[in-house]
Amino acid sequence: MDRIVSIHLDRSSSTPLYMQIYEGIANLIEKGAISYGEKLPPIRQMASFFNVNTVTVVNAYKQLEMQGFVKSRMGSGTYVSFLPEKKNFDEFPTVEGVASFSQETDNSMADAASHIKFDFAGASISPKYFPVKDFKDVVNEVLDRDGGYALEYQESSGYQPLRESIKEFMKIEHDLLVPFEEIQIVSGAQQGIDILAKAFLNFGDVVYVEAPTYPGAINAFRSRGAHIVEINMEEDGIDLNVLKKHLAQNPPKLFYTMPVFQNPTGYSYSSKKKQELIALAKKHNFYIIEDDHISDLYYREKPVLLKALDDGDKVLYIKSFSKLFLPGLRLAFLWVPEIYSDKTALAKYSSDISSSGFFQRALDLFLRKGLWCKHVRRLRKVFFEKWQKTHEALAMHMPQEVKYNIPEGGHFFWLQLPNGYYSMHLYELALKEGVSIMPGNLFYLSQKPTEGFRLSFAQISVQSIDVGIQKLSECIKQQIQNTYTIIQGPDERPLL
C-alpha cells in the first residue's frame, strides 16, 4: 500500500476513476516500483483507501489484466505479470551464472551485480578447480603425436579412440557395457538434447519435463515445436500419480529427466521411482532422455544411473563433461540404442558436422591416463567440505519457515520461502547485499513467480559460505518482516 499512496485521484477530471487507478498502478509497474510477481492489495482494501466503490477497483484491475500488467488467480488475488523494459528476464542471471549482467541497462542492478561477493548462482565449478596443468600436458602430447591431423575434420560420430575410452570409462565407473556403435560424441549436453529433439520429435509432439527443470532443455524442445508438459518433482523423483494421469490422456514421445542430483533441486529419484519410470516407458511406449550432468559428484553412495535399469532400450543417455571438467571444451556423449544411431548421427552431422577432433583427442588421453578419475576424486573431496559447510550454515542461519532438502551429491540446494513470498524479490534484495541466488521462476515453463530458489555452492569458496548464507538469511527475514508489517489480516498473503 505504501507505493499506492503516491496515486492521486482527480475527482473533477473527465477521466473515469477506474481509469485513473488503472493508469496510476500501470505507471508504478512500468517504473518497476511494483515488481513482477507482487500481489496487488485486495479489492476491498483498495476501495476503502481511495474511497471508491469496489466495482471501480474491479474495473481498474480488469483493465490492468487486459493490458497484460497483471494476472488474477482464482481465490488467491491479482499478481503483477509484467516486466519493465529495463528489467526483463534476459537481464537477470542466466542459469549459467551472472555473466549476462555485463549488458545490463539497469544501472542499479548492474552495479549490485558487479559487487557480488557471495555467488550462490553459478552452476559450473570455478575455473580455479580446472586441471589446467594436466590438461596442458595432454594437449601438448596430442600435438606432438598427431600434428596437423589433430586439427582435421573429425568423423561425425566421434574420434574412435575416444569412443573406446568412453566405453571403458562406463565399464569401470558404472559397470555398464556400452556397445561402441551406440556412442555418439556431441558438442556438450545442450547439443545432445537438441540432437535428440531433432531426431525424435515432429512438430506438435508431446514432451514431458520435470517441474522445475533445466531451462536449456525447455528451449531445445520448444525450438522443435514440441508441446511441453510439466510434471511436478518431489524429493524422491517425479510425482508418479500426476505422471500416470497425464499418460492416460496424452502420452509423450519423450520424457526429459535428471534422475541424479537434479538441476535445480538437487533431488534424486528413489530406486523404486526409477524402476516405475522405466516400466511406464515400456507400457506407454515413450523414450526417456536421462541427462547425467553431475552423477560423479556424490558424497554418500555412488548413485545408480537410470540407464543401468533400462531393460527395454527406452533410455537415451547423455553425459556432459562440462559440469566437473572444462565447459569450454564443449564435449559430451550420447548413448542411444543402435537402431537409432543413424538417426542421431544424421542430426549431429547437420548440426555441426563433428565436435572438435583436437579436444576429443585431448579428452581421450585425459581419460586413458587416469587423470579424469584423479581430478574427480579431488573435486569430490573439496566439494564434500563445501556441501557440509553449506548445510551447517543453513541449519544455523535460515529462518525456520524456509524449507530445504539435503542433496546427496552435486552442488544445488533447493530452498522454499514461505507461501506467497517470491524468490524474485529475494533475488533483488540479496543482490543489493552482494549475494546472488537463482530465482526459481527461471526453471519453469511459464516462468511463473515462485517461492523456490536454487542455491549453488559451485563457485563460492568454502570460507565464504557461512557469511554468505548468514547474509541471505537476513534478507529473507527482512523480506518476511517487511511484508508482515504491511499485512493487516492474519490470513493475507504479502501485499506490495
Ligand X SMILES: Cc1ncc(COP(=O)(O)O)c(C=O)c1O
What are the cell numbers at 193? 538434447
Give the footprint of ligand X on residues 197-236 (CB under 6 A).
Answer: 214, 216
- 327 in contact with ligand X (CB under 6 A): yes
CA distances from 373 to 172, 317, 370, 491 (A): 10, 21, 6, 54
| Of the candidates 322, 317, 342, 346, the residue with the CA atom closest to the CA atom of residue 332 | 322
DSSP letters, 393-431, are HHHHHS-TT-EE---SBSSEEEEEPSTT--HHHHHHHHH
| Cβ closest to ligand X, residue 163 vs residue 293 | 293
Q: Show the site string, 278-307: x = touches ligand X by CB under 6 A, - = not.
A: -------------x-x--------------
Q: How far is the CB of 216 from ligand X (least distance, A)?
A: 5
DSSP letters, 197-209, are HHHH--TT-EEEE
**Region of 25-33, 175-183, 184-192, 395-403 interacting with ligand X (CB under 6 A):** 184-192
Exposed / middle / buried, residue 69 (Cβ in 10 Å: 0-12, 13-18, 19+): buried
Say which residues have a Cβ less than 8 Å from residue 233's Cβ, sequence separation at least 6.
210, 211, 212, 213, 239, 262, 265, 267
Q: Which of 64, 162, 170, 189 binds ligand X (CB under 6 A)?
A: 189
Q: Where are the beta strands (DSSP E) in 138-277?
A: 183-186, 206-211, 227-234, 237-238, 254-257
Report d(CA 480, CA 26) in Å as an integer. Answer: 25
Q: How far is the CB of 442 from ligand X (least distance, A)?
A: 12
Name the residue with cell 516500483.
Answer: 33
**Region of 51-59, 156-164, 188-196, 366-374 interacting with ligand X (CB under 6 A):** 188-196
Report d(CA 118, CA 459) in Å as an integer. Answer: 9
Q: Which of 32, 93, 188, 494 binds ligand X (CB under 6 A)?
A: 188
Q: How far is the CB of 338 from ligand X (least distance, A)?
A: 24
- 414 in contact with ligand X (CB under 6 A): no
* Cis amide leading into 212 (omega within 30): yes
Beta-carbon neighbour count of residue 429 at 10 Å?
Answer: 17
Buried/exposed code over 259-268 (b: 16+ C-beta within 10 A; e: otherwise): bbbbbbbbbb
Q: Which of 94, 322, 360, 473 binds ligand X (CB under 6 A)?
A: 322
**Region of 241-249, 279-287, 320-328, 358-366 interacting with ligand X (CB under 6 A):** 320-328
- How far from the centroid of its chain's Cα atoms is residue 1's Cα? 33
Give the footprint of ligand X on residues 246-265 (CB under 6 A).
Answer: 258, 263
Q: How far is the CB of 36 from ligand X (least distance, A)?
A: 24
Beta-carbon neighbour count of residue 418 at 10 Å?
Answer: 17
- 459 in contact with ligand X (CB under 6 A): no
**Region of 15-23, 183-191, 243-251, 266-274 interacting with ligand X (CB under 6 A):** 183-191
Q: Which of 332, 336, 367, 371 binds ligand X (CB under 6 A)?
A: 332
Q: How far is the CB of 245 from ligand X (least distance, A)?
A: 26
The four Cα atoms 396, 400, 401, 405 give a dihedral, to 10 degrees, of 60
Q: Which of 320, 355, 356, 447 binds ligand X (CB under 6 A)?
A: 320
Residues that contact ligand X, how many (by CB under 6 A): 16
Q: Show the site string, 415-454: x = touches ligand X by CB under 6 A, - = not.
A: ----------------------------------------
| Cβ closest to ligand X, residue 95 vs residue 143 | 95
| Cβ closest to ligand X, residue 95 vs residue 429 | 95
Residue 416: what are its φ and ψ, rounded to 5°? -120, 120
| Cβ closest to ligand X, residue 216 vs residue 251 | 216
Binding site for ligand X (CB under 6 A): 95-96, 123, 188-190, 214, 216, 258, 263, 291, 293, 320, 322, 327, 332
